[in-house]
Structure 1
Amino acid sequence: MSAAWILGLTGGIGSGKSAAAAHFASLGVHVVDADHAARWVVEPGRPALQRIAEHFGPRVITAEGHLDRAALRALIFDVPDERRWLEKLLHPLIGDELVANLAQAQSPYAILVSPLLIESGQYRLTQRILLVDTPEHLQVQRTVTRDGVPEDQVHAILKAQASRADRLAHADDVLVNDRDLAWLQDEVERLHHVYLNLQPSSRGDQDRP
């Protein structure tokens, strides 16, 4: 089998990208989650965790030796230089993890699912991008229901993510997820059959399905 080509799958919070990714996986597609990779690179015993502890001090490490994400977020939230330091450390390591895991694909194409596909530059690892796009009021409603968080917190997260216009500008395919789960799964299956017959040599060089 020839090497799998890579589909980037993204969308804002509450868009349904995780549900779409799960259905692609159920169809036999190799799916790699960037959020999982971000956690792998800071596991105990990994060099990144030691570097973070040396830079920020022991307060960002739990008693069990794991990264205290809440403590780290509090330290970098309003300090752009510290956030850039962390990104400079982690982004190449996350990229290496993603490349290694995508290379294990046995399916004709593989999926890199990432909420920050555009912002992080991870889209450069892909040959095509699928955006799960959802009206903002539905994103807010779904996230409040799912996570039990206040609406203003969801709006703050939306502002911190790439804008809808930015995502649309990068997308080759757009799945508007404004109906129920069964409809979303039907659309995923439709796209899956299209993708099985694609062999894009570079991102965006195919017609949209």
Structure 2
Amino acid sequence: MKRPTRIGLTGGIGSGKSTVGRMLVDLGAWLVDTDAISRALTAAGGAGIGPIRETFGPDFIDAAGALDRTRMRDLVFRDPDARRRLESLLHPLIGQETLRQASQALPGQPVVYDVPLLVESGRWRALVDRVLVVDCTPATQIERVVQRSGLAAVEVERIIAQQASREARLRAADAVIFNDGLDLDQLREEVRALWAGWGG
């Protein structure tokens, strides 16, 4: 089986998607993390800060000059139009940086695009050869995110509700890693077996 050259990696919050991405890098892939790109664009001095300030006002920029994530998260949960406006500002910038980073892969090196909202975007399916979904139960998602971020469980449930359903992600998948009850070594073996099946 010929290994895909473009792999879309996705999963719900707390699924372990980013961990799987790092393991794929260890196996020879080039990783483009769109969530990290988004965070850089909205950090102090990031290219997204000026447009956000102009569109939403200075109250959405914190004292350090970065996006006030808590305030913005509360707004976009309440106001779908605000979410659309934020996405219209950031998505073109994310797209440009995604292409720039992907172009840095070595000739023939598989590129993994870590895209949290791959299914929601509606466009990524056509841009990659295969979609890999990292899956786990909602209860596991909530437990992991509460533990690592300190968010309240109800906040995590709100975030999950805003993302594509588990069923929609699984329908979009060409391959699934079920990351529930696995330790890191077991997860690494799952990733290695998948990579080998893809021609590794």
TM-score class, shorter-chain normalisation, is 0.7 to 0.9
Distance 2:153 2:68 in 1: 25
Distance 1:149 1:65 in 2: 23
1:10 maps to what in 2? 10
Deviating more after overlay: 38-47 vs 48-57: 38-47
Give the % identical residues: 43
1:72-83 matched pairs, under 5 angstroms: 72-83=72-83
Give a deviation string over 1:106-127, Cα, whole Å, max 9, x none.
2621111122111123524322
Instruction: Please provide the CA RMSD for this pair.
Output: 2.2
Give a deviation string over 1:63-115, Cα, whole Å, max 9, x none.
33322222333333312222211111211221121122112112621111122
In the alignment, structure 2 segments of 5+ residues that lack a partner are none
Distance 2:138 2:167 in 1: 13
Give a deviation string over 1:14-56, Cα, whole Å, max 9, x none.
2111211111122231111111111233355555322221122
2:128 maps to what in 1? 126
Distance 2:10 2:199 in 1: 19
- Confirm whether residue 117 of structure 1 aligns to residue 140 of structure 2: no
Q: Which amino acid aligns with 1:117?
A: L
1:55-134 matched pairs, under 5 angstroms: 55-106=55-106, 108-121=109-122, 123=124, 124-134=126-136
1:157-196 matched pairs, under 5 angstroms: 157-178=159-180, 179-196=182-199
Q: Which amino acid aligns with 1:55?
A: T
**TM-score normalized with structure 1 length:** 0.82
Distance 1:70 1:99 in 2: 29
Give a deviation string over 1:154-198, Cα, whole Å, max 9, x none.
22222111101110111100111122221110011112223346x
Q: Is the CA contact 1:109–1:196 (under 8 Å) kept in the aligned structure 2?
A: no
Q: Is the CA contact 2:142–2:153 (under 8 Å) kept in the aligned structure 1?
A: yes
Q: Is the CA contact 1:13–1:158 (under 8 Å) kept in the aligned structure 2?
A: yes
2:28 maps to what in 1? 28
Q: Which runs of 4+ in 1 moved over 6 A?
A: none
Q: Which amino acid aligns with 1:166?
A: A
Q: Is the CA contact 1:44–1:65 (under 8 Å) kept in the aligned structure 2?
A: yes
Structure 1 residues 196 and 85: alpha-carbon distance in aligned structure 2, compared to 1, 3 A threshold = same
Distance 1:37 1:9 in 2: 15
1:49 maps to what in 2? 49
Distance 1:45 1:16 in 2: 29
Q: Is the CA contact 1:95–1:122 (under 8 Å) kept in the aligned structure 2?
A: no
Could you tell me how far 1:153 is from its partner in structure 2? 2.4
Q: Which amino acid aligns with 2:162?
A: A
